[in-house]
Amino acid sequence: MAQLQDDLDRYPVADSTDRVGQVPVIDVSAVVRDASSTGGVEAARQIGNACREWGFFQVINHGVPDTLVDATWRETRHFFAQPAEIKDAILRTRENPWGYYNNELTKNQRDKKEVFDFTTDGIDPIYAAENRWPPVHDEFRTTLTAYRDAVTRLSLSLLEAFCVGLDLPADFMQADFGSDHTGFIRLNYYPVDDPLGQSAVEHLPVADLGVHHHTDAGALTVLLQDDVGGLQVFKDGYWHNVPPVPGAFVINTGDMMQVWSNDIYQAAVHRVLAMERRNRYSIPFFFNPSAKTNVSPLPSVVGDDRPARYHTINWSEFRGRRTDGDYADYGPEVQISQYRTQG
């Protein structure tokens, strides 16, 4: 990922009419039923190819009910429409990253967005902190936790497909993603106007992007996006639009999956453009392993002709160091390249 160190924003956007240059759309109904079935193995093959070529793909027939998706959109828009004092009452901090925030940095540049983050129930093992919920109607929490549980089930199915694609038993990685996984949901709001435009809070000048280019830290991300667009993935010297597909989720592989696969699967560099005409909403679920997980290349991808390319990474330590950069400039963000073996 040497390109990540370059000024990637100077690269052009690819022609969106070129179908060869479009993120794949994959039917995962067979994976959801049984990743080891004939249909599941075929879908896993397509997912593996997408992870090798793009690190991005979209999934349809995923099993998450439309009614739950619609309710989640409704609650998301309702939350961000609340007065500032309601949202600021649950402001995220470096010590407790769960709640609302409108001053987030990516690679030490301020993003033009507002967010609300929440994780699994109980005490989060990485930060020793609990979710903080806004004082709005009860349907907000009820709906969002139901949505979290639904996309967790989908993520476990996709994880099985990733394993099958790496010639491993479908359940090979389940122990690292049990009930103590550290995945979390983020509600994203990308307004046309700078959310800190009139604020007295100390902040960097507004960014020219909704989110600056980056890779996701964890295993995989399950993204629900609205119909506005603006998400782009970097590949072969071009930025490629990831167009909204009705009823689909966007999936991308993260840093830990790249390490587990020994660079066979790529953690894709992506960004979100700043909104100019319409406000945009999106809801990613970052599926992350348990805090105690030590990540290193899996046995099926290591051999005499392909030695392990990474030293072992403790997920809790890596996640904590990456999150610190959301709040202030503490120097360059931690990257998996820092854990590469020599040679």
The Cα–Cα gap between 62 and 45 comes to 17
Type of residue numbered 62: H
pLDDT at residue 324, as a whole number: 79
Are 275 and 191 in contact by the 8 Å Cβ rule? The answer is: yes
Do the bridges between strand 220-225 and strand 231-235 make them parallel or antiparallel, or are there none, so unpaired?
unpaired
The Cα–Cα gap between 115 and 99 comes to 8
Given a cut of 70, the residues of the chain with pLDDT beneath it are: 1-6, 17-21, 198-207, 326-329, 343
Vertex 235 angle, CA 216 and 313, to 5° = 30
pLDDT at residue 20, as a whole number: 56
Collapse the DSSP code of 284 into the 3-class scheme (helix H, G, I; strand E, B; otherwise coil) and give the result. Answer: strand
- Could you tell me the CATH number of the domain that includes residue 273? 2.60.120.330
Render pLDDT for 285-330 as a digit per residue (tens, 0 to 9): 999 999 999 999 999 999 999 999 999 999 999 999 988 776 666 7
Render pLDDT for 54-99 as a digit per residue (tens, 0 to 9): 999 999 999 999 999 999 999 999 999 999 999 999 999 888 999 9
How many helices (H) and strands (E) in the chain?
A: 7, 16
Domain limits for position 261:
2-339
pLDDT at residue 200, as a whole number: 47
Please, which residues have CB within 8 angstroms of residue 127's CB and are 6 or more apart in sequence?
A: 95, 96, 97, 98, 320
Residue 52 host element (H or E): helix 38-53
pLDDT at residue 3, as a whole number: 42
The Cα–Cα gap between 189 and 87 comes to 13
Please give the tally of structural domains in the chain. 1
Are 299 and 173 in contact by the 8 Å Cβ rule? The answer is: no
- The strand ranges marked E within 128-269 are 184-190, 209-214, 220-225, 231-235, 238-241, 249-253
Long-range contacts of 244-247 (CB under 8 A, 24+ apart): 245/25, 245/58, 245/60, 247/60, 247/66
According to the 3-state scheme, what is the secondary structure of 3-67? HHHCCHHHCCECCCCCHHHCCCEEECHHHHHCCCCHHHHHHHHHHHHHHHHCCEEEEECCCCCHH
Sign (positive or negative) of CA dihedral 322, 73, 83, 124: negative
The Cα–Cα gap between 218 and 265 comes to 13
Q: 326 vs 22, 25, 212, CA distance in Å?
A: 30, 31, 12
Calculate helix-pair angle for 66-80, 139-165, nearest 10 degrees. Answer: 120
Question: What's the length of the chain?
Answer: 343
pLDDT at residue 1, as a whole number: 39
